[in-house]
Structure 1
C-alpha cells in the first residue's frame, strides 16, 4: 500500500523507565508538526516502528518549537533518588538532639503544669496484705519495686507488724480515681488517639 521500506534498526532504544523498547525497524521521514497556535513546522528525522505509537525521539523533539521550549524551560539537570532509611535515621537523630528530655530513660516530670488533687472527706488509708508470689520471683519483684520507687511512681511505707519486724508496703495510685473528689467540669477527651 505504498508504505516505506523498513531498514534494520541496530540501535537499542530505551523508554523513560529505562527498559528496552522492541523496535521492528526504521525509516527516514520528513514530517510536519502543527503547534498549539496552528503554525506548521516541518522537519526531518528517523522514524522507528514499535508497538508504542507514542514513541518520539529527541531529534524530532528538538525540531518542534513547542517541545523544544519545554525542554529548555524544564531541563532536568540532576536526578536524585531518596534513601528513606537514611532520611528516617537523620530525622530520629535530629529529634533526639532537639528534644533530648523526651528520650531520657525513665518517666520524666512535668514541670510547667500544676495539678491539685483533693480527697473526699470520707476516705481513709487501707492496708492490704501482699499477694503471695513464688519464692523464685522475689528478687525480680524486689528489683521492679526498687525501680518504681526510684522513678517516684510508688513510694515505700514501713508499718510495724505485731511480731516486732517491719513490713515493706507500696502505695500505688491504681484505685485513686475512686477516692478523689470529682470536679463538675471535665476535660473533653482528645478526638485523635495519642
Structure 2
C-alpha cells in the first residue's frame, strides 16, 4: 500500500517541485554569474563614476581575460579610493589579500572576476572609484564593481541546485515507470 501511495502522489509532486526548485536555483545562479549591477572599466589615473542602485556591500574585482593562465599577484596589493560623487565623502575600502572564501565568477565568455577588496555603500547614488596604483594592474585586465556574494549564500544555492535536480530526476523516473505499468 505504501509504495502505491508514493507512486500515485509523491512521485509526481516531487517531480513538479523538483523542477520548480531547479528553475529557481538556476535563475539565482545566473544572477550571481551575471549580476544586474556591474560596472567594468580599465585601471587608470582618472576616477570612474559608478551608479550603485542600493545600499550594501560591493566588491572591487579584477577581470582576467579568457585563456590567461598566469595572472600574477601584484593586483592584490592595488589600493583604491572611493567617495560619494555628490558630497565627496570618502568610503572605506578594505583590501582582501588572497581571500580563500571569496566567490570567484566566470562568465560565459571565459572572463574570470577575482575579488580584490570590498566597501560598504551607505546609500544609493553615484560614487567615484579611483585606482591609486594603476601600474599594479596588468594591461588588458579590467576592474569591476559588483555586489558582494557571501560564500554562505553561494554554497547552499549550489547544494540546492544539486538536490532539486536529484528530486526532479528521481520523481520523473518513478512517475514514468508507474504510468508505464512497470512498477
Same fold? TM cut 0.5: no
Bigger share in helix: 2
Ranked by relative contact order (alpha carbons within 8 Å, sequence separation 6 or more), the top structure is 2
The structure whose Rg is larger is: 1
Structure 1-normalised TM-score? Answer: 0.22
TM-score by length of 2: 0.23
